[in-house]
């Protein structure tokens, strides 16, 4: 009952507003009772009828819901309030905007919406000038112009969409060019590394021939120079081989097939233990036998590099111990962990250890390409690799063998890394 009784005065008040607005309009105004009633009683947009001093004569319910402050008398709503008090403008600024809007039939006001906290919102209004027969003055009829605002927002959104599409097309073109450049660079690196080995083999062969034929007549200093040249040629040959290996890791097709990881580890271990006695190294493989999807040659390259580093960087004062652990996660990810008790490395440099030409032990000969090759092979397969060390008691390397199908999807989504 209370709701019913409180609703009738509101309805009567707006009915009175319709009568008041009709009385203010001239007799020949092209606005009938039904149209005005729809604007003030049912319109979803805010509507105001203002006098020539920009005071609100009448407004509809939507306007009062948006802009009526709690301190206003509920019986009068916004009636009699200057429009500038509903905006961030002064009276003079509001009058200037009204006059300009009347001339162009449209204007924008920084309205203060009273929904929770006061929020200033730029609001578009359609403006019509009417003459009041009762007041003998011009009236301003303002109707919130949501259609124009929506059209402008839609136009802005379309412009942004077109700009984004153009940017995307440019990025795709750059990616295609970059991909072509990478292929050309990989091909060049492979060919250059291969061509370098021919003169290096000639140099090494001629040095060996020179030593065998003329070595007896050379002084000690001459033998020293020959050894320096042989070591330099050998180091250059090793670097060239590493370049070739890295080029293959970056460009070889990943023709994955099921590979028994434990069997391959055993095979690599046998190669590494040639020339080493059981007293020199303790090598253990623990964990269940597991199968991973991999290109066999590239997988063997990773295992040979990781295990070879354990042997290469062993601590000179203790017996080398290498422990290889295999485990399977519930998510289907096979994890390989290789731990040793060698020299280790500075933990602060754990990230850069996989970059090309990063050698963390200057006292041990190497090219700095091995771990970079491992990282590249892992990336091509969609695997992850990490390294850790405390700098004293050895190093730990982890390889996480994820599903190769996901790696293929990533390469297809990012053409710069595709074949």
Mean pLDDT of all residues belonging to the chain? 77
Scored b (16 or more CB within 10 A) or e, 209-241 reads eebeeeeeeeeeeeeeebeebeeebeebbebbb
- Of 24-33, 34-43, 161-170, 191-200, give the lowest mean pLDDT range: 24-33
336-376 pLDDT, tens digit each = 999 988 888 888 877 788 887 666 665 556 567 788 888 88
Q: Is the pLDDT of residue 222 over 80?
A: yes
Q: What residue spans define the domains of the chain?
A: 2-144, 150-251, 253-419
Predicted pLDDT at 93:
93
Which residues have CB under 8 Å from 370's CB, separation 6+? 242, 305, 308, 309
Predicted pLDDT at 418:
36
Q: What is the fold of 150-251?
A: Helix Hairpins (1.10.287)
Name the burial class of residue 291, with classes exposed (0-12), middle (13-18) and buried (19+) by CB atoms within 10 angstroms of its CB: middle
Q: Is the pLDDT of residue 176 over 60?
A: yes
Longest Cα–Cα distance in the chain: 130
* CA 347 – CA 388 distance, rounded (Å): 6
Q: What is the fold of 2-144?
A: Beta-Lactamase (3.30.450)
Count of C-beta atoms within a 10 Å radius of residue 364: 12
CA dihedral sign of residues 366, 367, 371, 373: negative
Q: Is the pLDDT of residue 91 over 90?
A: yes
Confidence of residue 92 (pLDDT cuts 50, 70, 90): very high
93-152 pLDDT, tens digit each = 999 999 999 998 889 999 888 754 567 888 889 898 877 666 667 888 888 887 766 677
Which residues have CB under 8 Å from 294's CB, separation 6+? 256, 257, 259, 381, 401, 404
Predicted pLDDT at 26:
54
End-to-end CA distance of the chain: 77
* CA 196 – CA 192 distance, rounded (Å): 6
269-307 pLDDT, tens digit each = 888 877 677 677 888 888 888 888 888 888 888 998 898
Q: What percent of the chain has pLDDT over 70?
A: 69
* CA 124 – CA 276 distance, rounded (Å): 86
Predicted pLDDT at 7:
46
Predicted pLDDT at 5:
43
- Whose CA is closest to 193, among 251, 141, 121, 142? 251
Cα 409 from chain centroid (whole Å): 17
Q: What is the DSSP letter of 403?
A: -
* CA 369 – CA 276 distance, rounded (Å): 24
Class of domain 253-419: alpha beta
Q: Is the pLDDT of residue 73 over 60?
A: no
Task: Note the residue count of the chain.
Answer: 419
- pTM for the model stands at 0.46
Predicted pLDDT at 415:
42
CB of 364 closer than 8 Å to CB of 385: no
56-66 pLDDT, tens digit each = 888 887 888 88
Q: What percent of the chain has pLDDT over 90?
A: 10
* CA 174 – CA 180 distance, rounded (Å): 10
- For the segment 212-237, the average pLDDT, to the nearest whole number, is 80
């Amino acid at each position: 009952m209370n709701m019913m009784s409180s609703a009738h005065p509101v309805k009567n008040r707006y009915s009175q507003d319709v009568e008041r607005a009709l009385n203010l309009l001239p007799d020949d105004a092209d606005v009938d009772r039904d149209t005005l009633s729809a604007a003030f009683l049912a319109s979803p947009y805010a509507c105001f009828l203002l006098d020539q001093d920009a005071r609100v004569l009448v407004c509809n319910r939507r306007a009062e819901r948006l802009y009526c402050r709690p301190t206003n008398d509920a019986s009068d709503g916004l009636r009699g309030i200057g429009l500038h008090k509903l905006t961030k403008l002064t009276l003079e600024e509001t009058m200037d905007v009204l006059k300009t809007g009347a001339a162009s039939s449209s204007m924008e006001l920084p309205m203060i919406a009273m929904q929770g906290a006061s929020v200033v919102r730029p609001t578009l209004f359609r403006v019509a000038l009417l003459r009041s027969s009762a007041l003998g003055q011009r009236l301003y009829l303002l109707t919130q112009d949501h259609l124009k605002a929506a059209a402008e927002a839609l136009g802005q959104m379309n412009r942004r969409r077109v700009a984004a599409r153009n940017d995307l097309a440019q990025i795709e073109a750059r990616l295609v060019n970059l991909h072509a450049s990478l292929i050309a660079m990989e091909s060049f690196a492979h060919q250059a590394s291969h061509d370098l080995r021919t003169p290096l083999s000639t140099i090494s062969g001629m040095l060996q021939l020179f030593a065998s034929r003329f070595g007896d007549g050379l002084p000690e200093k001459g033998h020293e120079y020959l050894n320096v040249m042989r070591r330099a040629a050998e180091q250059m040959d090793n670097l060239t081989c590493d370049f070739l290996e890295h080029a293959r890791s970056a460009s070889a097709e990943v023709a994955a097939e099921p590979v028994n990881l434990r069997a391959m580890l055993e095979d690599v271990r046998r190669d590494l233990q040639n020339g080493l006695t059981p007293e020199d190294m303790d090598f253990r493989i623990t964990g269940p036998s597991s199968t991973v999807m991999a290109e066999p040659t590239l997988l063997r390259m990773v295992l040979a590099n990781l295990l070879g580093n354990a042997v290469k960087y062993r601590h000179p004062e203790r017996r080398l111990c290498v422990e290889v652990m295999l485990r399977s996660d519930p998510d289907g990810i096979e994890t390989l962990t290789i731990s040793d008790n060698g020299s280790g490395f500075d933990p602060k440099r754990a990230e850069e250890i996989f970059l090309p030409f990063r050698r963390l032990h200057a006292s041990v000969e190497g090219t700095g390409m091995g771990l970079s090759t491992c990282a590249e092979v892992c990336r091509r397969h969609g695997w992850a690799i990490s390294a850790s060390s405390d700098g004293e008691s050895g190093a730990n390397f982890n390889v996480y063998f994820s599903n190769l199908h996901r790696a293929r999807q990533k390469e297809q989504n990012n053409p710069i890394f595709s074949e």
